[in-house]
Structure 1
Amino acid sequence: MSKKHVLIVEDEVIIALDIKKRLENFGFIVDEVADCAEDALFYVVKYAPDLVLMDIKLNGKIEGTQIVSEIQNRYKIPVVYLTSHSDEETLRVAQA
């Protein structure tokens, strides 16, 4: 079985590096870590990962929730949200 490729989209560097280390310890290949939506889309096209781990609140003007449907529909890549925000509005937007 070939190793699975993951793109991490997280604006907190320490958290992103911790996730990267843990995934690599489990045998995943982390192609890149992006801290904004624009970079995330660039890396999706460049690497075509098997999975995207997406923070909701990102650096820049575009939130993670705004690009998830494009990643899933256009590129057919599953996305899992990562967030420390558990307020009702964030959960509502993530479920939409």
Structure 2
Amino acid sequence: MIGENHTVTLNNEGLHIDGVKLEKGNVFVVNERGKIEVFNQQAALIFIQEKVGGMRGNIKVYQDGAEVQGIRSINISAHVDDVTTHTIEYITGCTKKK
């Protein structure tokens, strides 16, 4: 679900959200004010923490365009003016690709 009051169209010219054409590899987010922001570059690492009640929420991690499976934990180190690094701990036997 994208949110309320947004226009999504799919035609022979491609997928558009609020009139902005999405290209393969684009990333978009809906910010806290409900505005859609489109990033016209490929993301090397995407971390998504879903909002849920309680202590634990579901996470999804995408690396170089593919969802990473079998994650037990992830540590991300990101600093302004420096490269981002990350370490993933996997659950043995759960790393099959979808």
TM range (shorter): under 0.3
TM-score by length of 2: 0.24
Instruction: Give the TM-score normalised by structure 1.
Output: 0.24
Higher helix share: 1
Q: Which has the larger radius of gyration?
A: 2
Q: Which protein has greater RCO, CA pairs closer than 8 Å, 6+ apart?
A: 1
